[in-house]
Amino acid sequence: MDKIMAKSRWYRLLPIAFITYSLAYLDRANFGFGAASGMATDLHITPSMSSLLGSLFFLGYFFFQVPGAVYAENRSAKQLIFWSLILWGGLAMATGIISNVNALIVIRFMLGVVESAVMPSMLLFLSRWFTKAERSQANTFLILGNPATILWMSVLSGYLIQAVGWRWMFILEGLPAIVWAFFWWRLVDDKPQDANWLTDSEKQALAEQLQLEQQGIKPVKNYAEAFKSRVVILLSLQYALWSIGVYGFVMWLPSILHAAPNMSIVKTGWLSSVPYVLAIIGMLSASYFSDKTLNRKAFVWPFLLIGALAFYGSYLLGADHFWLSFALLIIAGGAMYAPYGPFFAIIPEILPKNVAGGAMALINSLGALGSFIGSYIVGYLNGATHGFGASYIFMAGSLLLSALITLVAVKKPDAVKTPVPSTTTVP
């Protein structure tokens, strides 16, 4: 069975998914470095406007999740992501060219619109190629593009800003998405039956296993019924609160660190990358054991609780204990990222494939709303209080509530009892 289930899926598809999502993260997260360098001065951006600009991306991201996912589900995820790559690369490059804040407002919102369908479309894409016993790890290799990109982007952006300025940083970091779009189009097939690199027996084995898993899931007629279900509503709220912590952290960590005494932009870049090393280790470990045990909930809520406690500890230490506070921020960052793979494996296991993509899009869109709130309020609190303690408390409270909702939302560790071949392994 292991040979029939085609190990080639792992090394052919996951590197492509990883690179694609990495480029999306590169072009949304480098704004934090632009804001921490000369952008604000050159474009006459006030602290309150900086908070709005940091969060506008997520407002655009919020509105277009579900339509994009429905298109990917009914038409083509491959086509949707191809055009998204070209458009978001162009918008990212345009960030380095504009000369006034009004243009930047439009670009940040449109960047969110263009990227909005990428996450649910990629999750839907992977659910067509990987079985239940593989899905948490497959999702994790996709979402690893988030912390892995921020890790190297933090270092690269610091050097680029120092060498050529913030404008060229945006231009040089936006170009790869446009180039990669054509590799994506050449290398990817929407569904296993379209792939000429799989044998007929491999296609049949995968199709049979995925169909077998669907038989254990209660039918859901349409999106309206799925969106009103208890678990989708609770997981949407959970993910919104979780995202407040994640994106409050991602968007403003460079500014938090750059405010420390004797902190250059290059040093800020190196230090900003450290939490994402722990994030990668945590994500790989959590997804591996989640797939082994098929217990998703147990690998989500404890990490969110650890993140909440780490933020609160950083608040208690205050600015006078920079290195201890930073160590706790490293723990918070790693803990917030660890549960992504198990979390996004939950929905395809409890909802049928005709509505799973739309449900994941709805959850992700509420996460985008949380990201908007988190990035805006954290920036606002930092500016209003001239410190970071208030924003630490805000992020800690959001993560604590998210952990508690996870316990309530997912009633059983293994909600769907379907036969899963134990011989299927990750190469």
CA atoms within 13 A on the CB side of 425: 4
Q: Which residues of 87-125 are buried (b: 16+ CB within 10 A; e: fewer)?
A: bbbbbbbbbbebeebeebeebbbbbbbbbbbbbbbbbbb
Q: Which contacts of 3-9 are long-range, i.e. CB under 8 A and separated by 24 or more positions?
A: 4/201, 4/202, 4/205, 5/131, 5/202, 5/205, 5/206, 5/209, 5/421, 5/423, 5/424, 6/198, 6/199, 6/202, 6/205, 6/206, 7/427, 8/197, 8/198, 9/129, 9/130
Question: Whose structure tokens read 């960047």?
Answer: 111
216-411 is a CATH 1.20.1250.20 domain: yes
**What's the distance, CA 358 to chain centroid?**
17
Q: What is the pLDDT of residue 45?
A: 82
DSSP classification of residue 74: I
Which whole-number Å values give the CA distances from 87 to 44, 84, 180, in the listed order?
27, 5, 12
User: Cα(64)–Cα(150) distance, rounded to whole angstroms?
Assistant: 24
Output the furthest CA–CA distance in the chain (Å, rounded): 64
Which portions of the chain are predicted below pLDDT 70?
1-4, 54, 216, 251, 319, 412-427
Q: What is the pLDDT of residue 349?
A: 85
Beta-carbon contacts of residue 282 (< 8 Å; ≥ 6 apart): 303, 334, 335, 337, 338
User: Cα(202)–Cα(194) distance, rounded to whole angstroms?
Assistant: 12
Phi and psi based region of residue 397 (left: phi greater than 0; alpha: psi -120 to 50; beta: remaining): alpha
Q: What is the pLDDT of residue 352?
A: 81
**Cβ 121 vs Cβ 358: under 8 Å:** no
Q: Where in the chain is the domain with CATH 1.20.1250.20?
A: 8-213, 216-411
List helix spans (H) across 144-199: 145-164, 166-187
Read off the pTM.
0.74
Please, what is the Cα angle at 343 between 338 and 348, to 5 degrees? 150
Q: What is the pLDDT of residue 171?
A: 93
Class of domain 8-213: mainly alpha
